[in-house]
Amino acid sequence: MKIYLDCIPCFIRQALEAARHATDDIRIHEQAVRGAIGLAIDLDMSQSPPKIGQQMHRLIRGLTGIEDPYHKVKQQFNNAALKLYPKMRQLIIESRNPIETAVRLAIAGNIIDFGVKSQLQERELEETIEMCLSEELLNVHLDDFLAAVNEAEDILYLADNAGEIVFDRLLIEQLPVDIITVAVKGSPVINDATMEDAVLAGLPKIVEVIDNGSDTPGTILEGCSRSFRNHFEKADLVIAKGQGNYETLNNVNKNIFFLLKVKCPVISRNIGCKAGEMILQKTKAFKGAKENAGI
């Protein structure tokens, strides 16, 4: 997905917020905004939003000298999610349709996105869980998803954010864990999950976890490590969490299911849905097992 004009003010806002996460020095806050404006001047509009996000957050890390401005909120939401985990697990086990409940919760966890929701409070996370458990599923193709999971022999699960990764664990536990690899980011960008968060969520105990070697808040394949690209290549199903993965992979010729909560007007316009909706949607290029086998 290419950048929209609406993304430009959003990036400048993000630069300011990232700088504020890193330091209280208002001179650096101003430098961050001016730096982001500098990036915006010559912006190549054919790039995807996470490509600009990567450049912009590198700039902020360079200006502030802080390698992980969101480390504190990542910890906070990992802890908040881990506190909710036993109750949510029980809810899934006792529900009439455990997979559906786990999908709803995995999408709810996607609210923990400090790129869009810079002032997120734990209370809002709990409200989102309530909402995602009760709301009608409009853009959620659950039967297709289950069929794809059943047909798959090698699933790559692209995590999105810290905290959210605990919700991903809840869904992963309902899937065939022996064929799943989870990928996190190679190094910090916004509040995206890295290996540290995967470990905190307890994921390496149940599945293989790799990192993608990149600091893009999404998945731009050519910027990822060769090892990650090999995993991506050989997987016959990719489950991709969050807006950043949708923005970078929605036109890739691959069997991908996107799971996300729509949090910005640009994504809702691109998908053709309302802001706030839950999405479980496959790529246009998606082929079922029968099609793959030429049947």
Footprint of a second copy (CB under 8 A): 5-6, 8-13, 16, 26, 29-30, 33-34, 37-38, 40-41, 45
Nearest approach in angstroms of CB 210 to a second copy is 35
Smaller CB separation from a second copy, 9 or 176: 9
Q: What is the DSSP letter of 120?
A: -
The nearer residue to a second copy, 41 or 295, going by C-beta atoms, is: 41
Query: Could you tell me how many residues make up the chain?
Result: 295
Between 10 and 190, name the residue whose CB sits nearer to a second copy: 10
Amino acid at 112: I
- Cα–Cα distances (Å) from 125 to 11, 84, 107, 169, 240, in that order, read 23, 10, 11, 17, 20
Beta bridge pairs of residue 208: 181
Collect all residues with Cβ–Cβ distance below 8 Å to 177 and sequence separation of at least 6.
206, 207
Least gap, CB of 275 to a second copy (angstroms):
10
Distance, in Å, from the CA atom of 275 to the CA atom of 271, rounded to the nearest integer, reads 10
Identity of the residue numbered 257: F
Q: Locate 25 and state its tokens.
A: 């020095």
> Which strands make up the sheet holding 139-140, listed edge to edge?
139-140, 278-282, 256-261, 237-241, 155-158, 180-184, 208-211
User: Is the separation of the CB atoms in 141 and 59 below 8 Å?
Assistant: no
Minimum CB distance to a second copy smaller for 38 or for 176 = 38
In the complex, the smallest distance separating the C-beta of residue 56 from a second copy, rounded to whole angstroms, is 12
CB of 29 to a second copy, least distance (A): 6
Q: Which is nearer to a second copy, 39 or 133 (CB)?
A: 39
Q: Which two tokens stand for residue 147?
A: 């069929």
In angstroms, rounded to a whole number, what is the distance separating the alpha carbons of residues 161 and 206?
Answer: 19
Cβ distance to a second copy smaller for residue 36 or 91 = 36
What is the nearest approach in angstroms of a second copy to the Cβ of residue 139?
21
Tell me how far, at minimum, the Cβ of 265 lies from a second copy, in Å: 8
What is the DSSP secondary structure assignment for residue 282, as one 8-state letter? E
